[in-house]
Structure 1
Amino acid sequence: MTRTPRISPLLPSLLATALLVGPVVAAEAATHKTKAQAAAARKAKSAAPAEQAMTTDANGRSIPLLQNKAWVLMDYSTGQILASSNPDEPLPPASLTKMMTSYLVEQALKTGKVKPDDKVTMSENAWCRGGKNGDSCMFVPLNAQASLMDMLRGVVIASGNDASKALAEHVGGSEAGFVAMMNAEAAKLGMTKTHFENSDGLPGANHKASARDLAVLAAAIIRNSPEFYPIYAEREFTYNNIKQGNRNALLYTDPTVDGLKTGHTQEAGYCLTASSTRNGMRLISVILNANSMQARADQTRVLFNWGYANFEQATPAQAGAALTTPKVLYGVVPEVAAGVPTAWSLVVPKGQAAAVKTEVMLNPGLEAPIAKGAVIGKAVAVADGKVLGEAPVVALADVERAGFFLRIKQRVAGWFSK
């Protein structure tokens, strides 16, 4: 006998539940997927770099808009200011002051006034009392001695106020004597908006420097202290078993950056002077009064990227190459080769280097004797009718004065050539 299977009375309700739950689960899964995608999109958006804000300078050029009190971007080889904001206002420089301290020590080393292995004493006046009040310290014990080169690294890398004062006393006889040297050197370099009151950069009523002046100082260090400049790229320094890292964050993230100095006080904000070289072109940037360490590093990156993207080098004339051969009156030879004494380079907007032309303007009535290297005119670099720069033109050889009879002969010949 065949049995008819019994159907549970619960089956219809189970089937109905399945029909209802299936779409709900699918909808919830779809909702979760949508939320995940939205979260991922928000994360990607927040991770993407914000577009750099720009402004217009006095010449109508578009330049970066940065949140600080002053900044400068300068070409090292020519001293050209490529862009700036408030470049000449004297502002508190904080530990950017120590660039002048280290520079004077480096120059004293070059002249032999001090020696690398000199023992420098940590006086009570210079001693750092445990880094109170946010002081940066090398942490040399009171009355202890350290080598001059260790002290120099303590200034450049660790930004030690104690090392700065100790070196000032060692080189200048006293910190006051050294400060007088600092101001004299600032005047010599043309730092017209700068006045120093101490060697470490702690606040002082009249302790100020401009962004332009600090760029000039950085260029002097690079140019005149080549044997010591690599110290500015060192990432860490250890003294007395205390290891300190260089505060210049760009040294860790940008291989084209090789210096120079950070600074910070509550009054000065966060400051940074840096130098970068790409494709043979070196730029120097100065940031004054940014609102954080991250901001000063980010703003410096913006300036370097903008500068290299918008400018290139042009060479209107090579050193020693004759640009023209003007006539010379009363010389043993009738003419002299003339050119620029040193390699002449300019920084021009990207794409204009090939369009740069050189025009030579000579002093009228050149007459022997003329010494090699004597300035006899100028060269003017022009592109699209705009003067980009000038350079002195010099005689590339000596021209002796002719004897009496040869001069008479030349004069007579001149009468008939008119």
Structure 2
Amino acid sequence: MEVFKYVKNFLTKGLLIALLVILTVLAIVPQQAYAEDALTIMAEAAILVDAESGKILYEKNAEAPLGVASMTKMMTEYLLFEAIENGKVTWDQEYEVTDYTYKISQDMRLSNVPFREDGSYTIKEMYEAMAIFSANAATIGIAETIAGTESKFVDLMNDKAKEMGLEETTFVNSTGLSNSSLMGMHPEGTKETDENIMPARSVAKLTKRLLDDYPEVLETTKIPVKLFREGTADETRMENWNSMLPGLIYEYEGMDGLKTGSTDFAGYAFAGTAKRDDTRLIAVVMGAVDNKGAGSYKARFDATRTLFDYGFGEFTTEEVIPAGYQFEGQKTLAVEKGLEEKVAIAVKEPVKMMIPIADKELYRPELLLDDSVVKNGKLEAGVEKDLVVGTLQLKKTDGTEYGYLSGSTEKVEIVTTEAVERANWLSLSMRSTGEFLSSLWDDAGSFVRGLF
């Protein structure tokens, strides 16, 4: 009996020890790493970005060129805002319906507000129809107003894409429809089988650029429902295709834009943005599917919700390097021909970054000196205060670091903390004489010690 009790106690203690070991290991493993590994995005491609800095928080197959569908309209919106800013177009300018836009507007298989064959519409109401209801004929009308023809507008779109650095991007029309849906009236120079193509990363770049340059776009994209031509025989209810807006079926806190898209070629896509407190995120999903592999409107919003929950729940904006930070082993630089022989260097501005909550200690600062300023490890006097001598880069010592939409890591200036004037002839002569005498004294001391 005593042996049985001994064995029982031994096994109980053993199980407790094993359990404690397991719990300790789980506690040591960063929670963020688990959260990212457990993240399942049911889409062909996806990306999550901090809208302020462009820092990528998550990506999946984000560089693959895919069908972009009506997310294309964000480029049309950008060029419209630009044309208005430059005075080429006004909001109250009237557009006369063409045969092309009339026929497209009558196709109820497409998202549209109906145009009258002899009608005219303001740019403002066509813009609202495009941004809220993804109205395709209205989008083509805007393109024709800006460039004369949709073909010429497509040239503007592709030129702007190159200017923005949107890699692997090709626009063949202003709407994102498949050219085969344009009733043989697709833009000149394109083929009926052509499609608009973008990778998720380029869609995110376009989204960020639109938000940075023309944030007023959100005043329209956040409208859940609006009536087109309210109070007329042509009144059309426009419910925003972004069903994550407050009051709509898949509402999400902070959601206020931006553009959905779906075609047979592209599947179901969405470039969404939401803001909570001081944090704005951008999420792009392309080719979204449900757990059975079928694409649907809901699937794209489910994937977007997962991304936003991950971003808002697992990340925080932290000051990872304070202003005035100095590198151990490189707190100063030598100064040639200066009143002082060295000058202190430090980080000019604090480094704030959106990072996983558990990962703050994983970022290590590195100093990169500017060879055009610091030559052979020295500065030439006189040195001004706040002279930029290099940059700080942050390296993550463990886990995945996706970088920034710009493609480069964030660089922070390293500067001199004070000025060092050039020494005059007398000071330099006395310094040289002192160095010479010191050298003689050292040599004499070495000689005397050698005698013994």
TM over 0.5: yes
- Are 1:243 and 2:237 counterparts? yes
Question: Where does residue 148 of structure 1 map in the other structure?
Answer: 123
Task: Provide closer, same or farther for how the CA distance between residues 411 and 273 of structure 1 changes in structure 2, counting only shifts above 3 A.
Answer: farther
Give the match's secondary structure for 2:82. helix
Q: CA deviation at 1:186?
A: 1.3
Moved more, 126-135 or 390-399: 390-399
Q: CA deviation at 1:353?
A: 2.9
- Are 1:351 and 2:351 counterparts? no
Task: Provide closer, same or farther for how the CA distance between residues 84 and 170 of structure 1 changes in structure 2, counting only shifts above 3 A.
Answer: same
Question: Where does residue 310 of structure 1 map in the other structure?
Answer: 314
Specify which of 265, 271, 274 is matched with residue 272 of structure 2.
274
- Are 1:185 and 2:160 counterparts? yes
C-alpha distance in structure 2 between counterparts of 1:326 and 1:159, whole Å: 58
Specify which of 258, 276, 280 is matched with residue 260 of structure 1.
258
Question: Where does residue 11 of structure 1 map in the other structure?
Answer: none
Aligned residue runs from structure 1 range 112-151, under 5 A: 112-132=87-107, 134-151=109-126
C-alpha distance in structure 2 between counterparts of 1:407 and 1:386, whole Å: 54
Task: Provide closer, same or farther for how the CA distance between residues 72 and 367 of structure 1 changes in structure 2, counting only shifts above 3 A.
Answer: same
Aligned residue runs from structure 1 range 33-112, under 5 A: 62-112=37-87
Moved more, 261-270 or 70-79: 70-79
Question: Where does residue 444 of structure 2 map in the other structure?
Answer: none
Q: CA deviation at 1:196?
A: 0.3
Q: CA deviation at 1:159?
A: 0.6
- Are 1:298 and 2:302 counterparts? yes
> Which blocks of at least 5 consecutive residues in structure 1 are unaligned?
1-58
* Contact 2:388–2:416 under 8 Å retained in 1: no
C-alpha distance in structure 2 between counterparts of 1:169 and 1:415, whole Å: 78
Aligned residue runs from structure 1 range 396-407, under 5 A: 402=422, 405=425
- Are 1:173 and 2:148 counterparts? yes
C-alpha distance in structure 2 between counterparts of 1:81 and 1:157, whole Å: 27
Moved more, 146-155 or 257-266: 146-155
TM-score in terms of structure 1 length: 0.73
* Contact 1:118–1:147 under 8 Å retained in 2: yes
What do residues 113-136 of structure 1 show as CA deviations (whole Å, max 9, x unaligned)? 333332233322233545426211
Q: CA deviation at 1:140?
A: 3.5
**Partner AA of 1:147 in structure 2:** T
C-alpha distance in structure 1 between counterparts of 2:204 and 2:257, whole Å: 12
Q: CA deviation at 1:229?
A: 2.9
What do residues 246-286 of structure 1 show as CA deviations (whole Å, max 9, x unaligned)? 11011131131111001111222221110122342222111
Give the match's secondary structure for 2:197. coil
What do residues 20-46 of structure 1 show as CA deviations (whole Å, max 9, x unaligned)? xxxxxxxxxxxxxxxxxxxxxxxxxxx
> Which blocks of at least 5 consecutive residues in structure 2 are unaligned?
1-33, 180-193, 231-235, 289-294, 371-376, 402-408, 440-452
**Partner AA of 1:393 in structure 2:** E
* Contact 2:176–2:195 under 8 Å retained in 1: no
Question: Where does residue 391 of structure 1 map in the other structure?
Answer: 411
* Contact 2:48–2:56 under 8 Å retained in 1: yes
**Partner AA of 1:186 in structure 2:** A
C-alpha distance in structure 1 between counterparts of 2:399 and 2:95, whole Å: 55
Question: Where does residue 367 of structure 1 map in the other structure?
Answer: 380
Specify which of 198, 205, 208 is matched with residue 209 of structure 1.
198
C-alpha distance in structure 2 between counterparts of 1:373 and 1:111, whole Å: 38
Whose radius of gyration is greater, 1 or 2? Answer: 1
What do residues 119-170 of structure 1 show as CA deviations (whole Å, max 9, x unaligned)? 2333222335454262111333334332222222121111111121111111
Q: CA deviation at 1:301?
A: 0.8
Which of structures 1 and 2 has the larger relative contact order (alpha carbons within 8 angstroms, sep 6+)?
A: 2
Specify which of 377, 389, 401 is matched with residue 376 of structure 1.
389
What do residues 33-91 of structure 1 show as CA deviations (whole Å, max 9, x unaligned)? xxxxxxxxxxxxxxxxxxxxxxxxxx995153333322222222332332222212211
Q: CA deviation at 1:411?
A: 8.0
User: Once the two structures are aligned, what percentage of the paired residues are identical?
Assistant: 28
TM-score in terms of structure 2 length: 0.68
Moved more, 384-393 or 64-73: 384-393
Question: Where does residue 9 of structure 1 map in the other structure?
Answer: none
Equivalenced residue count is 358
Moved more, 323-332 or 188-197: 323-332
What do residues 345-388 of structure 1 show as CA deviations (whole Å, max 9, x unaligned)? 32322222366554444333233577888752111335657896
Specify which of 216, 224, 239 is matched with residue 227 of structure 1.
216
Give the match's secondary structure for 2:378. coil
**Partner AA of 2:411 in structure 1:** A
C-alpha distance in structure 2 between counterparts of 1:386 and 1:130, whole Å: 50
